[in-house]
Structure 1
Amino acid sequence: MAVKIRLARHGAKKRPYYRVVVADGRMPRDGRYIEQVGRYNPLTTPKTIELDLEKIDEWISKGAQPSTTVSHLIDIVRTGAPAPEKKQKLSKKAAAKAAAAAESAE
């Protein structure tokens, strides 16, 4: 049985909220899990990451494999650094307005 530490998506449409769970690799993403070991909310500013590192270390010692996303979240929590924020991309219309405003200011 391949045990994974991964994210399970919850929340409404376009409003994701994730639970960090330990689950059998054959179960569906949002299906049955063995234990919940944390939470991750990417919508708050700054992003909310709550992980129980003791439980995660215990599961990893038993052979559980964290997903790439979960391993990245674990690294962020261990270092204490804030989660990196993505730059907001301007729409074409907004970029054109900003360029026009900068041009008229000159």
Structure 2
Amino acid sequence: MNGIGSRIREERERLGLTQRVFGDIGGVEPNAQGKYESGERTPKADYLAAVAARGVDALYVLSGVSTPMAVADLNTDEEVLLGCYRNLPQADQEAVRQLLRSLGGATPRALGGSAAY
């Protein structure tokens, strides 16, 4: 399953919420939440605004493109890690990505969303 429904489910699962709780956040019944996730129905803007206020990446849900994280939002450790990563040769960067996928069971989206993952 591709599209908005699968991305809604992915975001709900990323946040560790049940369909019932997620539906409550979005102001819909659990059956509507299920229909959104299955692709039977498309959510309205007020639903997306409500779930976005609780941490859902609405741009990702709508387009499949993650909202970029502002550099100002990185903590010191993240800045150091990112700087080290960027200084690595391409082959070593791929090795780091593979290691992170192995350790964390990360999805391609969690590691940048590239088709190369």
Bigger Rg, structure 1 or 2: 1
Could you say which structure has the higher strand fraction?
1
TM-score, scaled relative to structure 2: 0.26
Name the structure where helix makes up a greater proportion of residues.
Answer: 2
